[in-house]
Chains A and B, each alone.
Chain A
């Protein structure tokens, strides 16, 4: 338990926990790590004191065999070095398609240049905004490069929508055009883009063809991925 707590504490301090779960889990994780370390210490102290009292505690139950499986996540953490979700994961699950969103959307203030926006909001606005507020603005999106066989004109900017933990991640994707070069999968980029309105309304397309596209105005590679790489649904 002590080991598990210490490992968890390391993940929290390094910020690496953001690869696995939402940022809002930080405090629950801190408490859990503290409790694990405390339990571990108390257990050691109590059994140490008892051993000196009564020599006959050796036979007491040390828990079932299945408990040793607890060591497995620790083993995986040190040996495999997991990463944040990326292109490989995007290939496993259907990309997010905005199902519905409430109008009216808040007006966009574009007076200070490119508007920073979550990929999720970009997709929702593109699909549902009756005012078509994206038409006149340049938007700054952040995400990963995923090279996609369905979209060979550029790459697909991808960010993961994670409601709970990385295992439920759903890719949020925007097909980028005019990217000016080739990029490797999983490169982290910041892209200033303009939405490309579809020829026919998205709602008239079959739902698996509703791909949202944008034209790149400028593109910057970011050397290190963020510690909080995921977007959350709220």
Chain B
């Protein structure tokens, strides 16, 4: 998770100097991946399997099989379709990291929870970025004095209802304008409900301060921008690939009769897609394309997929535990999951 740290904090050598802040701890998860001196390691790793594959291409008959080729078409098409939106998203998140300070966000969000919760939700709308970016922002809002409930609302709303996400949803479902509206309403509703719940029942004792922002004015702006954008892209892109793999594989491996049976049972479809959303951890800028790739499922069950994914999935749970502490994650995660599913089903019934 070092990457999400550096996403918004100024990138810097791995040795931070504020020990004791737990956001520092997250850094260790991935330390083994970038040993010092591994700078040129990346391209080599990338090229090797490509060369091997090219050499073996004619020998591996199964690569020419109809199902394998169809699978690869489905897989690659989801990746290609989502890519421009990912690039747009990470470009904007890079610009925000360079030009928008958390002070500014904090000045806009009111202090009183009753006002702060909905306005934080709306602030989420204005800040495009995927969920991995919004976790550190929310952490810094808390440490800067924003009511925790408002920061949580922002955390839930930002990745789900920002303009990039809504546009990509509209592109993925060109004939279903109502789905875009439903996604907006259901996600906003879920964020406000969870924020209000948190404002009422907690005195934020569980929420650890998430470390200070370090403004590194010396850092070259270009470098900061490219670092943030490229790291966001690598992170979000990686999870997108996982989602595309799963969607393509589901279409081909699972027998059509099973897929149809699950899809035609509404309750089962909702539960399966909600679980998938959590497991796949697809970036919110790309998840609509994966949902569009599951045409057997009803719109409502796909709405559940789109509402649950941005607020709760495996990578977010890991980020929550890292930024806000395990006790918080244990309480927060189940509540958010249930609220998101219920909100999506209810809104789906009304709008779709």
Question: Looking across the interface, which residue of chain A has its beta carbon closest to that of B67?
Answer: A88
In the complex with contacts A59-B13, A62-B38, A80-B68, A46-B87 CB distance below 8 A: no
Residue interface mask A1-37, B partner, CB < 8 A = 1: 1011000100100000101110001001101100110
Contact A88 B66 (CB under 8 A): yes
Among A21-71, those with CB < 8 Å from B are 21, 25, 28-29, 31-32, 35-36, 39, 42-43, 46-47, 50, 56-71
A163 and B73 within 8 A (CB): no
Roughly how many angstroms separate A63 CA and B12 CA in the complex, as a whole number?
A: 13
* 0/1 string, B120-164, CB within 8 A of A gives 1: 000000000000000000000000000000000000000000000
Is A85 part of the contact surface with B, judged by Cβ < 8 Å? yes
Least Cβ–Cβ distance between B253 and chain A, in angstroms: 11
Residue among B13, B37, B88 having the largest count of chain A Cβ atoms under 10 Å: B13
Instruction: Tell me whether A46 and B34 are in contact (CB under 8 A).
Output: no
For A88, the chain B residues whose CB sits under 8 A away are 66-67, 69-70
How many A-B Cβ pairs are below 8 Å? 221
**Given A60-B11, A61-B34; A167-B231 close (CB under 8 Å):** no
Of all chain B residues, which has the CB nearest A57? B13
A76: chain B residues within 8 A (beta carbon): 72, 75-76
- Asked if B247 and A167 sit within 8 Å, CB to CB, the answer is yes
| 8 Å CB contact of A69 from B226, B242, B248 | B242
B61-102: contact bitstring with A at CB < 8 Å (1 yes, 0 no)? 001101111101111111111011001100100000000000
A77 — nearest CB in chain B belongs to which residue? B76
Q: Does A190 touch B at the CB level, under 8 Å?
A: no
> For the complex, is B245 an interface residue (Cβ under 8 Å from A)?
yes
Interface centre among B63, B81, B220 (most CB of A within 10 A): B81
Contact code string B1-26 (vs A, CB < 8 Å = 1, else 0):
11100100001111100000000000
Q: How far apart are A59's CB and chain B's nearest CB, in angstroms?
A: 5
A184 within 8 A of B: no
Closest to B41 in A: A62
Q: Are A93 and B73 in contact (CB under 8 A)?
A: no
Residue on A with the closest CB to B172? A164
Residues of A with C-beta under 8 A to B226: 39, 42-43, 46
The yes or no answer to B165 lying at the interface (CB within 8 A) is no
Q: Which residues of A contact B34 (CB under 8 A)?
A: 59-63
Beyond A61-B14, A165-B81, whether A233 also contacts B72 by CB under 8 A is no
- Of B48-56, B110-118, B180-188, B337-345, the one contacting chain A is B48-56
Contact B3 A82 (CB under 8 A): no
Size bin of chain B's contact surface: 35 or more
A66 and B11: CB pair below 8 A? no
Interface range on chain A (Cβ under 8 Å from partner):
35 or more
Contact call A69/B241, Cβ cutoff below 8 A = yes
Q: Is A20 a contact of B81 with CB atoms below 8 Å?
A: yes
Contact B293 A73 (CB under 8 A): no
Q: Assess whether A60 is in contact with B174, with CB atoms less than 8 Å apart.
A: no
Q: How far is the CA of A47 from the CA of B38 in the complex (A)?
A: 13
* Given A42-B222, A61-B34, A80-B69, CB of A73 within 8 Å of CB of B76: yes
Q: List chain B residues, Cβ under 8 A from A61.
A: 2-3, 6, 11, 14, 30, 34, 231
- The verdict on A39 contacting B233 (CB below 8 Å), with A58-B37, A85-B73 known, is yes
User: In whole angstroms, how far apart are the Cα atoms of A69 and B242 in the complex?
Assistant: 8
Q: Which residues of A contact B12 (CB under 8 A)?
A: 60
Is there an interface contact between B292 and A58, defined as CB atoms closer than 8 Å?
Answer: no
Task: Output the least CB separation between B244 and chain A (Å).
Answer: 8
A99 CB, min distance to chain B CBs, angstroms:
11
A75 within 8 A of partner (CB):
yes
Partner of B36, one of A58, A78, A86: A58
Contacts of A66 in B (CB 8 A): 235, 238-239, 242
- Rank and list the top 3 A-B pairs by shortest CB-CB distance, nearest first: A167-B293, A66-B238, A67-B234
Interface residues, chain A, CB within 8 Å of chain B? 1, 3-4, 8, 11, 17, 19-21, 25, 28-29, 31-32, 35-36, 39, 42-43, 46-47, 50, 56-86, 88-89, 92-93, 163-168, 170, 233-234
